[in-house]
A and B are shown apart, each in its own frame.
Chain A
């Protein structure tokens, strides 16, 4: 079992990184009236872990007996019926899904699933009608329409189900939804916290940790605990016993983007642009989300870039990322960014060095 899963805290009490949040949540649940919740924070900060622990707190261990199912919804959309298929993860008491996977038909999912849950209210052991919990991941990726349809159903069916929303950035969640939820901000763990966790795992696994090794991993992880643990284990698989200066292997795709970035820096020509396009396609085909590609690419470029260009390049990266979200064919936008960068950088190089 991967360490990420093995050492994931199961209950609110076990949680170490966000202890304060966990305690508050526990109190909230014990008072029997849990509001809708919106967890937001960077990836790898422990939102999901908190949610799972919270559900366990609410319903007891039975909440862990989840099943995965590929559900099909038949939605009557005016003139035609649409079949939407989505993977859900559900137990007797909760349902978890990522509606944004359904693309722009996500709003039907949001409406249907809530109505469906309202239809089947579970009856708890005391014969009281309980409520179900609906966990929605990646709410920030929901289309505007879906968020709007969510807002009304949230209120209407609030007696039947509680919503737990998870997202990376609350800024892309509409105000209306945010105001209907209790917003819980989950910070990324600090590096010290990460180091602590890593050392804890090391001890449990009986590993010899050279001094400074854990902190180097933590540093590389950009404050994502999951990243840190994963790369820790990758190191372990790669070479054990650890050496003090052992290289921390990057993700495969990160390596590739680094390569692209150095390609771009080396030569700015149509030919190079063409090659870069091929590589970008490869990343996209391998299911790396385009936003992450663009972000990482910028990050890699900035590392090598002259200071006076950094601001401009950042501006363009943001510009093209915004447009990428508006558009559909990500490659066009990433390529436009690369072309722009090449143009800027080439002009700069020639004006500086002649």
Chain B
């Protein structure tokens, strides 16, 4: 216990030492002075803030800030003094009483307070209001601060019940106090400034060096309460998130940057970054990970004797305040929800229980909407000016002008579910006095829907009658001028599923429409909406920050009498991924089973919902193989390995060898490890077999088995510490090599196939591809490279080129042969061959390929084309050795859909060979290439458009010098 206290004390000493404005008295000093200090110290800044906050509507942040202030100063001393409970309570009481009296003393404030409550709940809607409120704010907030501790006192004296029966004066006072204290709770648990949620996403951070090797201690749940940590750099064994989680679980809070309020900077290495320098400047304590563990562990060990008083103490501090606060909140909500009086709270909740919270707490005025205020404003402006822009001025000119300036006739609200699009649309139109007609496209799609839209676009009155036989519409029909209508097309991206042309119809009606149309969709990049986007003003709603959401959630929770702290709610907000509706639903669901919701509860409940998003395969593999992975539950493991069904097994396969299993206690000579590796390897192979069943035979129900075989079994056999196998390897999981190797294999296979085709085309060989590789290739290589080493240059080149042309081996094939027989540690057979020889070889080959009989059509180089057509064309000509050919035998009739035209000119026998090749491809551009070799005009094989599959027809005719008859085959592909 001494430990912990020391920690706390130290922190405070440092705080004081840092020379912050509010020089706090040492904990041991008189309590009265504290309270005095608090009040005076607080009122100044918070009062100042209060004006600013209304205007900028940064209500949350500043509120929290304020709250934090109080928390900061109050809580730690109390904890520090925990053993002296008895001493303290009277002091507190005094202090609270003192505060408690202050509101009563000033009657003026009361009225303001009510206003204030209103504001808090509703975020005051109009600016006029603000200006009225501000003058009083200073007083009020000052008193509000002062009262913070009052409820504590109440609790301490156990007279909670009396509250209900308090005098008329008291409620307001209590309300103030309640709010203040609740704010304190919020602050204590909350994060620092808003908008730091995304902090973690910047940049990659190194992995902890001893990742997962330390046992994470468990301590008393609130042992870190009231402490603020900042994490910097890489920790020894914990990931950043893990550390954060650990601290939060034990009641501490984690902020993003160092400030005066930071108690500790958690870091294991002094990286000298901004955080550490600032921490030094402020005199913040440095804490290593081990130190943190010790702290937690100490509390855990020594907890039993002393946990109780401490806990109760903490409770006495918090729970009553909260309870009170709830009641007060409920009261303040009265204005909002038109509910019953605070005394009737219970009955009220019962009354409303059949209403879902999402409906119950749906914002009632636009300013109530969380986040996206500017968009709401934009929507508001758009709607307010709609009539002026499009309707009132009848002339087309004006409309055009308007469209020039960027104003669109319709607006498209887009954004994820549950962030208040529909609500904003409704509220805004309601506020501006528009009659909102909501067409829920996903409900009644199809023809009628289309009709509706058409109708609207058509004549003003008729159509809408068709739309809904609604009283208000009839009313509108009577007096179209006076009543304004707005059409809300909800879920437009779900529309075209059932009815084709729905979007087009919508666009048409937008063009004609005389009423504003608000379209709402989830995904603005949806293919269906592409055309619609051009006609609409796009307003992309963003997810509210978790602080914003937590703020709202806590209002709801308090109104419902739930005891939740803000950290938990922030966690909830984070888990639901910005979906307010879901958050409320979850909260309501949680409230059914418990009245006090803690961080861990939410963590557990919503475990699965988070998993889906942010687990990368690497993280998953890390976790599976991690030191502590033995503790994972089966479903967690399945979730991890399912995070990417293709990649995780590959990563596992690539890295399982690297792990030294922690399950093996004493492993002499590594036999056990080897055995485990063999078992893991077999299991991975099992996974492959299952995978074939899944993919080839579509047995997707096997995917869990595959997951178990290929990920979970190997990981559970071998999880432990990772070690490097190669000298300079980084100790991180490698990316699976299989993908790369497989694609290289594919490439080589294609090359081999090319070589194979060429050799087949030479008609000298008919061996299969496999035999070619396995048996012939060695000899090919020898025949191709050996002469270059042994024979004199000219002779060598001649021999090789002859061999190449005999087998129709192109230069690419030559490279293929080299490539395929390349092995690690073998020297390249071309090493030691003089560059001059190589150059001569290339030259000779080029020369030869001109004069030479060409056997495979893709070996003919076409001018203007770098390479032969991608789709190979193989034309085979009669080999010179053939003597038995008759005229009929020369034309090889191709199968069904190919035309072969073979023209041969006998007259050109002496003239060297001519090759005219006409390649006609009908598929794309009708590319036509004419090739003249040796520049002699000749009859060419003319090819008229290929019929059949409409592919490409190519025709090559070639004459061989000295031979009366050549034959051409044409290849079509």
Known contacts A52-B766, A87-B753, A343-B674: A70-B874 contact under CB 8 Å: yes
Please measure, in the bound complex, the distance between the C-alpha atom of A230 and the C-alpha atom of B688, giving whole angstroms: 37
B876 in contact with A67 (CB, 8 Å): yes
- For the complex, is B824 an interface residue (Cβ under 8 Å from A)? yes
A-facing residues in B394-421 (Cβ within 8 Å): none
Q: Which of B653, B680, B782, B822 contacts A234 (CB 8 A)?
A: B782
Q: Is B737 an interface residue (CB 8 A)?
A: yes
Do residues A68 and B949 form an inter-chain contact, with CB atoms below 8 A? Answer: no
**Residue in B675, B684, B737, B752 whose beta carbon sits within 8 Å of that of A347 in the complex:** B675
A-side contacts of B823, CB under 8 Å: 252-253, 256, 282, 286
Residues in A with CB closer than 8 Å to B657 are 270, 273-274, 277
Partner of A92, one of B767, B786, B893, B949: B893
Interface string of A63-81 (1 = CB under 8 A from B): 0111111111010000000
Interface string of B679-701 (1 = CB under 8 A from A): 01110111111011001100000
Q: Which residues of A contact B669 (CB under 8 A)?
A: 346, 350
Least distance between A308 CB and chain B CB atoms (Å): 18
Q: Which residues of B contact A247 (CB under 8 A)?
A: none
User: Does A305 count as interface, using CB distance less than 8 angstroms?
Assistant: no
| A342 CB-CB contact with B under 8 Å | yes
Chain A neighbourhood of B766, CB < 8 A: 48, 52, 89, 96
Within 8 A of B (CB), among A319-337: 320, 323-324, 326-329, 331-333, 335-336
Among A29-37, A146-154, A203-211, A287-295, the stretch that binds chain B is A287-295
**Of A120, A252, A327, which one neighbours B778 at CB under 8 angstroms?**
A252
Bound-state Cα–Cα, A91 to B767, Å: 17
Q: Which of B748-802 contact A (CB under 8 A)?
A: 748-749, 752-753, 756-757, 760-761, 763-771, 773-779, 781-783, 786
- Collect the chain A residues with CB atoms within 8 Å of residue B769's CB: 98, 101
- Contact at B874–A138, with CB atoms within 8 Å? no
Pair B779/A233 contact, Cβ less than 8 Å: yes
Q: Interface majority SS on B: helix, strand, loop or mixed?
A: helix
Find residues 227-243 in chain A having any chain B CB closer than 8 Å to their own CB: 227, 230, 233-234, 237-238
Whether A65 pairs with B882 at a CB distance below 8 angstroms is yes
B592: CB under 8 A from chain A?
Answer: no
A289 touches B774 (CB 8 A): yes
User: Does A116 reach chain B (CB closer than 8 Å)?
Assistant: yes
Nearest-CB distance from A1 to chain B (Å)?
Answer: 6
Instruction: Give chain B interface residues in 290-349, CB to chain A under 8 Å.
Output: none
Interface check B889, CB cutoff 8 A: yes
Q: How far is the CA of A119 from the CA of B678 in the complex (A)?
A: 55
Q: Contacts A282-B824, A286-B820 hold; do A326 and B692 have CB atoms under 8 A apart?
A: yes
Q: Which one of B155-163, B370-378, B738-746 is at the A interface?
A: B738-746
Contacts of B973 in A (CB 8 A): 69-72
Are the C-beta atoms of B782 and A74 separated by less than 8 Å? Answer: no
Residues of A with C-beta under 8 A to B786: 237-238
Q: With A72-B973, A270-B677, A347-B671 in contact, is A1–B806 under 8 Å at CB?
A: yes
Q: Does B481 contact A (CB under 8 A)?
A: no
Kindly list chain B residues whose C-beta atoms are within 8 Å of the C-beta of A292: 774
| Smallest CB gap from A292: residue in B | B774
CB of B896 within 8 Å of the partner chain? yes
Bound complex: CA A277 to CA B725 (Å): 12
Q: Does A281 contact B (CB under 8 A)?
A: yes
Given contacts A62-B889, A286-B748, contact A333 B685 (CB under 8 A): yes
Point out the residues of chain A lying under 8 angstroms from B770, CB to CB: 289
Q: Which residues of A contact B689 (CB under 8 A)?
A: 323, 326-327
Q: Give the CA-CA distance A101 to B753 in the complex, in Å.
A: 10
For the complex, give the distance between the alpha carbons of A328 and B706 in Å. Answer: 14
Which of A173-203 touch B at CB < 8 Å? none
Residues of A within 8 A of B763 (CB): 64, 66
| B80 to A: closest C-beta gap in Å | 53
Scoring A residues 143 to 172 as 1 if CB is less than 8 Å from chain B, else 0, what string do you get? 000000000000000000000000000000
> Chain B 871-900 against A: per-residue CB contact (8 Å), 1 yes, 0 no?
110111010001011000100111110000
Q: Which A residues are CB-close (under 8 A) to B673?
A: 270
Which of B674, B695, B777, B821 is within 8 Å of A268, CB to CB? B674
CA of A269 to CA of B678, assembled, Å: 11
Across the interface, which residues of A come within 8 angstroms of B486, CB to CB? none
Task: Tell me the B947-962 residues at the A interface (CB within 8 Å).
Answer: 949, 951
Contact partner of A5 (CB less than 8 A), chosen from B686, B742, B764, is: B764
Instruction: Report the contact-size class of chain A (Cβ under 8 Å from the partner).
Output: 35 or more
Q: Quick one: which of A34-55 are within 8 Å of B by CB?
A: 43-44, 48, 52
Is there an interface contact between B774 and A65, defined as CB atoms closer than 8 Å?
no
A198 to chain B, nearest CB (A): 15
Q: By the criterion CB–CB under 8 Å, are A116 and B896 in contact?
A: yes
Q: Say whether, besides A336-B682, A340-B681, A138 and B779 are in contact (CB < 8 Å).
A: no
Tell me how far the C-beta of B922 lies from the nearest C-beta in chain A, rounded to whole angstroms. 15
Contacting residues, chain B, for A251 (C-beta < 8 A): 774-775, 777-778
Distance in Å: Cβ of A111 to nearest Cβ of chain B: 16
Knowing A48-B767, A68-B761 touch, does A288 contact B773 (C-beta < 8 A)? yes
Tell me if A279 is interfacial: C-beta within 8 Å of chain B: yes
Q: How many A-B residue pairs have CB under 8 A?
A: 224
Tell whether A61 is near chain B: CB-to-CB under 8 Å: yes
In the complex the two chains form, is A230's CB within 8 Å of B779's CB? yes
A4 at the binding interface (Cβ < 8 Å) = yes
Task: Tell me, yes or no, whether A285 is within 8 Å of chain B by CB.
Answer: yes
Which of B756, B779, B782 has its CB near the most chain A CB atoms (within 10 A)? B779
Give the contacting residue for A69; candidates B737, B765, B821, B971; CB below 8 A: B971
Chain A residues closer than 8 Å to B951, beta-carbon distance: 72
Chain A residue nearest to B874 in the complex (CB) = A68
Beta-carbon nearest neighbor of B657 in chain A: A270
Cβ of B658 within 8 Å of any chain A Cβ, yes or no, is yes
A286: chain B residues within 8 A (beta carbon): 748, 773, 820-823
Kindly state the separation between the CA atoms of A223 and B761 in the bound complex, as whole angstroms: 29
Instruction: Judge if B50 is at the interface, Cβ distance under 8 Å.
Output: no
**Which residues on B sit within 8 Å (CB–CB) of A98?**
768-769
Cβ of A259: which chain B residues have Cβ within 8 Å of it? 825
Residues of B within 8 A of A253 (CB): 774, 823
- Asked if residues B685 and A320 are in contact (CB atoms below 8 Å), the reply is yes
Q: Are B692 and A339 in contact (CB-based, < 8 A)? A: no
B765 A4 Cβ-Cβ under 8 A: yes
* CB proximity of B356 to chain A, nearest CB, Å: 43
Q: With contacts A253-B774, A289-B774, A327-B688 known, is A68 near B741, CB below 8 A?
A: no
The distance in angstroms between the C-alpha atoms of A277 and B686, with both chains bound, is 18
The CA of A221 and the CA of B516, in the complex, are separated in Å by 87
B916 within 8 A of A: no
User: Cβ of B748 and Cβ of A339 under 8 Å apart?
Assistant: no
* B683-732 with Cβ < 8 A to chain A: 684-689, 691-692, 695-696, 725-726
Is A104's CB within 8 Å of the partner chain B? yes
CA distance A249 to B821 in the complex (A): 14
* B483 smallest CB distance to A (angstroms): 53
Q: Is A2 an interface residue (CB 8 A)?
A: yes
Asked whether A252 and B777 contact (CB < 8 A) given A2-B765, A339-B677, the answer is: yes
With A251-B774, A287-B745 as known contacts, state yes or no: A137 contacts B768, CB within 8 Å. Answer: yes
* Chain A residues, CB < 8 A from B671: 343, 346-347, 350
Return the chain A residue nearest B748 by Cβ: A287
Q: Cβ of A65: which chain B residues have Cβ within 8 Å of it?
A: 878, 882, 885, 889, 892
Chain A contact residues, CB within 8 Å of chain B? 1-2, 4-5, 43-44, 48, 52, 61-62, 64-72, 74, 87, 89-92, 96, 98, 101, 104, 116, 119-120, 137-138, 224, 226-227, 230, 233-234, 237-238, 249, 251-253, 256, 259, 268-271, 273-274, 277-279, 281-282, 284-289, 292, 320, 323-324, 326-329, 331-333, 335-336, 339-340, 342-343, 346-347, 350
Q: A65-B885, A329-B738 are in contact. List 13 more A-B contacts (CB 8 A).
A: A44-B775, A65-B892, A87-B757, A90-B895, A116-B895, A230-B776, A256-B826, A332-B681, A335-B681, A336-B685, A339-B682, A346-B670, A350-B671
Closest 3 CB pairs of A and B: A336-B681, A343-B678, A327-B688
